[in-house]
Structure formats: C-alpha cells, structure tokens
A and B are shown apart, each in its own frame.
Chain A
Amino acid sequence: DAKTTQPTSMDCAEGRAANLPCNHSTISGNEYVYWYRQIHSQGPQYIIHGLKNNETNEMASLIITEDRKSSTLILPHATLRDTAVYYCIVRAQITNNAGNMLTFGGGTRLMVKP
C-alpha cells in the first residue's frame, strides 16, 4: 500500500470549512483513498473513500487531483465535535485471501475552535 503524508496538526474556526490535505505520490492505479477519523478514546469512524472521481456524502467531500497524487478532505461547516485525528489511508482493492489490515499513519490532529 502507498505511503501517505499529512500535516501533523491544523486549526479551523467553527462554522468554516476544514480542508485536510493528504499526499500520496506513489499511489498505484488500483489503490483507493480512504479517510477515517478518531476521537479520543473512541474507535475510528469511516468518513469517505474514492478511486479517482470526487466523492461527497453527508459527512464530507473528497477531492482527488487528476494525477491522483494528492487529495483533500473537506468538512464544509466544521463544528466542535469534528475535533479529532484524521487519517488518510491508501489501499488497494482486496482480491485475494491475504490479511485485510488497515494501516494508519500519524494523521492530522484537527482542532476546531469557537
């Protein structure tokens, strides 16, 4: 699976959009981009994933560059409850019986401030 690089921390004002970047310059053609977040002492929460098209759901939007070497997770109107560590993961579609482990890197600690 490709390695990802994310900023260690970011701040965002409550009510504003939070834009979290992720670099994955070694991504392969069959690898998807997944975003999770983890609030302290809770399990990771799935947010969104995509291959090459931009994706949007009720939680966020995922913008993937045309060359797929980077992506941005957008929380359109950040609230205090969005304060968490956000993980960008790149992983290939599973096609065999090998372990289906998720590998979390350091992530970005997003602090939403009033």
Chain B
Amino acid sequence: DGGITQSPKYLFRKEGQNVTLSCEQNLNHDAMYWYRQDPGQGLRLIYYSQIVNDFQKGDIAEGYSVSREKKESFPLTVTSAQKNPTAFYLCASSIRFRGNQPQHFGDGTRLSIL
C-alpha cells in the first residue's frame, strides 16, 4: 500500500544530542513537509521541500535541519540548538507543492527529552 512511513514512533533525546527523524513516502509525491504539533495546539511548519534537492524554512526552522537527496525521503534532524524539542512531529507529502492537492500525513514521531 502507498503511504508515508515515519520512524521511530517514539524517540528520546539526551541533552546536547542531535537526533534524526525518518520520513519515507512511496506515493511519488514531489513535495514534502515537516510539522510540529504541541499538546492541544495546531500544526506549525518547520521545513518544506518542493522537489528533490530543494528545501525552504517554514515558520519555526531554528534548531532543525533537513535534506532532500531522494524524492522519497525527507529526514529531519533535531539539533541541540532546539531548546524545546519535546513534541509530536509529523511528516506530510503532496503530489505537487502548487495547486489544491491535499497533503497526506504519516503517523508521527513523538520526541521526548531524557
């Protein structure tokens, strides 16, 4: 079945440690996105990529980094510079960046600080 796979489902980070969240899609979508969701709140855009080898900062990119070396993969690194990383991280993709096509989401990674 086509879809978006995020791993791991749960992740714990020690102080000063960088961690990488995986996002893979087999939908052949050009655009991919990373969001952060805090308890009782909506989504905030971290980074997005319109096409392979391209990415732009969203509203809250500080303390995060991404890469888009393959169409199907868009990993997110939460660096030690991100002082409040505890959140639910969601990866999404859409057929194209432009237009009205919907974004489809993975099941998320819940990151906590040890």
> Size band of the A side of the interface?
20 to 34
Classify the secondary structure of A's interface with B: loop
For A93, what are the chain B residues with a Cβ–Cβ distance below 8 Å?
98-100
A72-114: CB near B (< 8 Å → 1, else 0) gives: 0000000000000000000001111101111111000000000
Tell me, yes or no, whether A49 is within 8 Å of chain B by CB: yes
Our pick among A44, A45, A94, A104 for the contact of B97 (Cβ within 8 Å) is A94
Our pick among A43, A46, A51, A105 for the contact of B42 (Cβ within 8 Å) is A105
Tally of contact residues, B, Cβ under 8 A: 30
Instruction: Report whether A99 and B107 are in contact in the complex, using a CB–CB cutoff of 8 Å.
Output: no
Instruction: Report whether A45 and B105 are in contact in the complex, using a CB–CB cutoff of 8 Å.
Output: yes
Instruction: Report whether B108 and A99 are in contact in the complex, using a CB–CB cutoff of 8 Å.
Output: no
Instruction: Pick out which of these stretches binds chain A: B43-51, B63-71, B77-85.
Output: B43-51
For the A-B complex, the count of residue pairs with Cβ-Cβ distances under 8 Å equals: 66
Instruction: Report whether B42 and A100 are in contact in the complex, using a CB–CB cutoff of 8 Å.
Output: no
Tell me, yes or no, whether B59 is within 8 Å of chain A by CB: yes
B103-114: CB near A (< 8 Å → 1, else 0) gives: 111111010000
Instruction: Report whether A46 and B104 are in contact in the complex, using a CB–CB cutoff of 8 Å.
Output: yes
Greatest chain A CB density within 10 A among B58, B106, B107 is at: B107
For B74, what are the chain A residues with a Cβ–Cβ distance below 8 Å?
none
Instruction: Report whether B100 and A46 are in contact in the complex, using a CB–CB cutoff of 8 Å.
Output: no
For A99, what are the chain B residues with a Cβ–Cβ distance below 8 Å?
45, 48, 56, 58-59
For B56, what are the chain A residues with a Cβ–Cβ distance below 8 Å?
97, 99
Which residues of A pack against B, CB within 8 Å?
32, 34, 41-46, 49, 51, 93-97, 99-105
- 20 A-B residue pairs with Cβ-Cβ distance under 8 Å, sorted by A, are A42-B107, A42-B108, A46-B103, A46-B105, A49-B102, A93-B99, A94-B97, A94-B100, A95-B98, A99-B48, A99-B56, A99-B59, A100-B31, A100-B94, A100-B103, A101-B33, A102-B92, A102-B103, A103-B42, A105-B42
Enumerate the 9 nearest inter-chain pairs by beta-carbon distance, A residue then B residue, closest first.
A43-B105, A104-B42, A101-B45, A93-B100, A46-B102, A94-B98, A43-B107, A43-B108, A44-B105
Given known contacts A46-B104, A101-B33, A102-B43, what 5 new A-B pairs fall within 8 Å (CB)? Answer: A43-B6, A43-B105, A51-B100, A99-B45, A101-B58
